[in-house]
Structures are given as C-alpha cells and as structure tokens.
Amino acid sequence: MTKVVLLSFDVEEFDLPIEFNINFPKEDQFDFSFEGLKKILEILDKHDVSTTFFVTAIFASKYSSIIREISRKHEIASHGLNHQIREYTKREVKESKEIIEKKIKKKINGFRAPRFHKIDFNSIYKLGFKYDSSICPTYLPKRYNNYFEKRKVFIWINILVQIR
C-alpha cells in the first residue's frame, strides 16, 4: 500500500532575524536559506520523495539554475516576489508567477502567500493558479490566528483548490 503525504517547503530569503531587529544582511539571508535547501534536497533524494517548493521570485532569480533543476523532480510554486512584502497586490502576485515560470521554463499552478497572509482567492484564480495554500491552520502568537481553521482540502466556488 502506497502512503501519500502532502509535503511542502517554503524557499525564501531567511528574514526572520530582521523581525527581531537583528542586522542580517541580504546576502546572508540567501546563503542561510540556500544551505538549508541543499540539506533538504539531500534528504528527499535519499528517500526518493518528491514535494512542492513554494519559492519567492527573488530567490528563483538568484538561484535560477538550482530551482530549474529542482523543478525536474519536484513541483515549484509561487511564494510571492519576496518574503518582506506584507500585503500583496494582484500585480505583485502576477509578477512573481511570470518570473518563476520564466526561470523554470514551465507553468506553475500553486501559490502560498508569505507568512500565510490572506489573499483574494478570485484574484489567484484569475492569474491562472489552480490552487492556493496560504492558510495555515494553526495558532502562533503574534503571527497566525487560524487555530479553528479546518485542516483539509476544499474547492473554493468550484474554481480554486484551497489546501490547508
């Protein structure tokens, strides 16, 4: 019997220290994330597991060759333009999709807003996404307050799959 698990990773510039007023230069943010990505890929390859990587457009631009290589075995989806944007506009989501698709030379179907911010599902659908994974059903003080959200997959108005 084959077991199926939905597994995904966010691939972004590591900006958490900045939220705590710690000086963490942009290049270090990228290096830190890149090292973690390499370790994750080793584990996934060792166990022959494929997954979804939600990638920021800025990370995909900086590391386009590895993101393109990853896309051969794993799904690449959009995680927005960069991780610092607090509220996304339709234009920014569209731009992130276009940049990532250009880098990996294939269409992407999924979107996850940075920090699981809420996004307008209708806009996501109109931009050509097939699913959204922007709601994290958990409670994390001062970050997420979705403790009572259901952990499930559902179709929003028969057009967009929402994965929680």
Q: What share of the chain is helix, strand, coil (3-state, %, to 5)?
A: 40, 15, 45
Secondary element (H or E) of residue 78? strand 75-78
Which pLDDT score, from 0 to 100, does residue 69 have? Answer: 97
Domain assignment present for residue 38? The answer is yes
| Rg over CA atoms, the chain | 16
Domain assignment present for residue 114? The answer is yes
Domain assignment present for residue 1? The answer is no
Reported as a pLDDT band with limits 50, 70 and 90, residue 82 is confident
Domain assignment present for residue 140? The answer is no
Residues 12, 112, 18, CA angle at the centre, nearest 5°?
40
Among 17-21, 127-131, 155-159, which range has the highest average pLDDT?
127-131
Paired with 10 in beta bridges are 54
Which domain covers residue 32, as residue numbers? 8-134
Domain with residue 19: its CATH number is: 3.20.20.370
* Whole-prediction pTM: 0.84
